A and B are shown apart, each in its own frame.
Chain A
């Protein structure tokens, strides 16, 4: 069964600190992996899309990694800001069918 598992479920860190969110997937076939940021009560916003051949992709303070062999991805946030408080969702595209993770709820405290 195609699944996307994210950890931790929730995370609280202090402003200015770094953090890493994890995503493990068992999805086949694999087309690409996406990370979305979702503010409470808002629609998801795309952060990165990574294809099979891409190991690392950055978008400002966000850096995503992908290990297609172990079927793992991570999202690293550098120098966190209060506005980073949101849910971060890992989504795997399997031949245009998106398999959604449950998200990691990140809270940044001042």
Chain B
């Protein structure tokens, strides 16, 4: 069964540093998403991406965050100047269309120290 692949599985970074989280969505999917989940809390929407541009973003997704699809397969989330409160699991997801089920990756656990 096709999978969404995320790397790295775990990243530890110092406060103030920049991190790039990587995702390879399912190849024939057209919509891509980033979500985050702080330990013990709800899954939170960050951003959706379609046709090489952001289609929607949440209040969380401020200037500290950016997304990119640098080539035909990768989808990245960049977090600039990380803060302690950015520590969370970050999930990438993809879907064939917005009304279809999303396939989530296994996540990247980001720890900011």
Contacts and interface: CB of A to CB of B under 8 A. Distances in A.
B18 interface: no
A43 B42 contact: no
A38 to B, nearest CB: 8
> Which residue, of A31, A34, A42, A93, has the highest number of chain B Cβ atoms within 10 A?
A42
B51 interface: no
B99 A43 contact: no
A76 to B, nearest CB: 19
Contacts of A44: 43, 91, 102, 104
Contacts of B106: 42-43
Interface string A32-63: 10100000011111100100000000000000
A47 to B, nearest CB: 9
A43 B105 CA distance: 6
A42 B99 contact: no
A34 B95 CA distance: 14
Interface in B72-97: 89, 91, 93
Interface in A89-110: 89, 93, 96-98, 100-103
Contacts of B104: 43-45
B103 A46 contact: yes
A101 B56 CA distance: 20
14 contacts: A42-B107, A43-B91, A43-B93, A43-B106, A43-B107, A44-B43, A46-B101, A49-B101, A97-B56, A98-B45, A100-B42, A100-B44, A100-B45, A101-B42
